[in-house]
Structure 1
């Protein structure tokens, strides 16, 4: 993610900031990918700290995609919704660098059901997922305590809200890309036939999970071509954003990111991924000094890199020029 400059005093400000230290109220314009002082606040600014500019009926581009919010009569749900919407805005801003969901993009947009397991009527089951353009997000996992418990139970130390949204929105992006004539044949060559029975595949996976091996980024990616795609996209987005954020923070490695480098315009997937790996190794070394987990412990075998290159090519297709 970029580090921005205050439009008034030109001091550094960050993606989530509502105001600069100079006192100027600021708003993020996803179309310009910049902060502005234009007073057109999303109507969720006060409730959940949304700093995006309004576009439709008083809502910003991201909040307009939210069809259902958690039960706000349960007081604990407001900060969980706030954190989950922040993660969603982050992911949408990343995809906007490739032209997804901007004013030039006339294709369908996803809708989000932001649900909580806690309601005033009691506990409800909420399953993360995607179905026909509708994405369900369990905001309960925005709780640090709940997330830590599920990371332990599921053996997914790197389970995060941003990761969930990247994974689920990847399923939606598949629907959009499947409309293009050259996508499905290339997809099936690399990922397999997505028409295979999804329910049976998941049942088989949970009964006998397979290791990631050389062609899948995670064990879950082995379950079905749809999950392989979603896991691959989520990790590609992780890595591109890692390189972009390192560049914005002016982190330097020999032969690495140089001033002015834009990770979102680099079409060389292998170079981009290799830079992300180099950055992650360096940050791992720093984290170990603090007895913290490695930032990115996954192995990117050649089979995984081929899938990432295919996905990267198609995700970048929205860029002008």
Structure 2
């Protein structure tokens, strides 16, 4: 993510900021990818600290995609929804740098159902997923305590709200890209036939999960071509944003990024990924000094990198 500038005093401001320390009220313009002086603000600004510019019907580009909100009669759901929407805005802003969901993008947008396991009527089961353009997100996992428990129970220490949204929106991106026969032919050559029985594949995976291997970034990616694609996209987005954020913060290594480097504008997948890995290894070393987890604890063999390159080429609309 970029580090922005206050339109009044030019001080650094960050993606979540509602105001600068100079007192200037801020609004994020996702089309221009800048922080502007607050004008037409999203209708959800007061409730969930949404700092985006209003577009249609008084809502911002991101909030307009949310069809269902959690049961706000349950008091704890408001901060969980707030945290989840911030993660969604982050992902949508990143994708906007490649041309997705911008004014120039004629394609459909995803619809989000932001649900909680806790409702006034009692506990409900919420399954995250994507179905025909609708993405369901369990905002309960925005709770640090619940997230830590599920990371431990499921053995998914990289399970995060931003990661969930990147994974599920990847399924929607496939829905759009899959309208092209040429894309599908190339996809199947790398990922396999996505028309194979999905339910049976998941059942087989949960009965006897395979480990990540030369061609699959995670164990879950081995379950089915659709999940391989979603995991590949999520990790590609992790890594591009990692090196973009490092460049914005002026973190670098010898022969690494230079000031002004734009990871989203770089068409060379290997360069982007290799630079991200180099920075992650350095930050891993720093984290270990504080007994903190590795920032990116994954190995990227050649088969996975080939899938990154394919996905990177198709996601860059601009």
Q: Would the TM-score normalized by the shorter structure come out above 0.5?
A: yes
Indicate yes or no: 2:108 matched with 1:90.
no
Task: Tell me the distance in 1 between the aligned counterparts of 2:213 and 2:185.
Answer: 23
Task: Tell me the distance in 1 between the aligned counterparts of 2:176 and 2:246.
Answer: 30
* Secondary structure of residue in 2 paired with 1:150: helix
Indicate yes or no: 2:56 matched with 1:69.
no
Partner residue, 1:252: 252
Task: Tell me the distance in 2 between the aligned counterparts of 1:92 and 1:263.
Answer: 16
Partner residue, 1:300: 300
Partner residue, 2:179: 179
Indicate yes or no: 2:164 matched with 1:128.
no
> What are the residue-to-residue correspondences of 1:207-218 with 2, within 5 Å?
207-218=207-218
> What are the residue-to-residue correspondences of 1:27-46 with 2, within 5 Å?
27-46=27-46
Partner residue, 1:205: 205
Indicate yes or no: 2:85 matched with 1:56.
no
Partner residue, 2:103: 103
Per-residue displacement from partner, 1:236-258 (whole Å, max 9, x unpaired)?
00000000000000001011110
Task: Tell me the distance in 2 between the aligned counterparts of 1:71 and 1:38.
Answer: 29
* Secondary structure of residue in 2 paired with 1:159: coil
TM-score (norm 1): 0.99
Structure 1 segments unaligned to the other structure (5+ residues): none
Indicate yes or no: 2:81 matched with 1:81.
yes
* Secondary structure of residue in 1 paired with 2:25: coil
Q: How far did 1:185 drift? A: 0.4
Task: Tell me the distance in 1 between the aligned counterparts of 2:46 and 2:120.
Answer: 23
Q: How far did 1:180 drift? A: 2.4
Indicate yes or no: 2:282 matched with 1:282.
yes
Per-residue displacement from partner, 1:197-255 (whole Å, max 9, x unpaired)?
00000000000000111000000000000000000000000000000000000001011
Partner residue, 1:165: 165
Task: Tell me the distance in 2 between the aligned counterparts of 1:212 and 1:245.
Answer: 27
TM-score (norm 2): 0.99
Structure 2 segments unaligned to the other structure (5+ residues): none
* Secondary structure of residue in 2 paired with 1:136: strand
What's the Cα RMSD here? 0.5
* Secondary structure of residue in 2 paired with 1:152: helix
> How many aligned residue pairs are there?
318
Q: How far did 1:38 drift? A: 4.1
Task: Tell me the distance in 2 between the aligned counterparts of 1:28 and 1:295.
Answer: 27
Indicate yes or no: 2:237 matched with 1:237.
yes
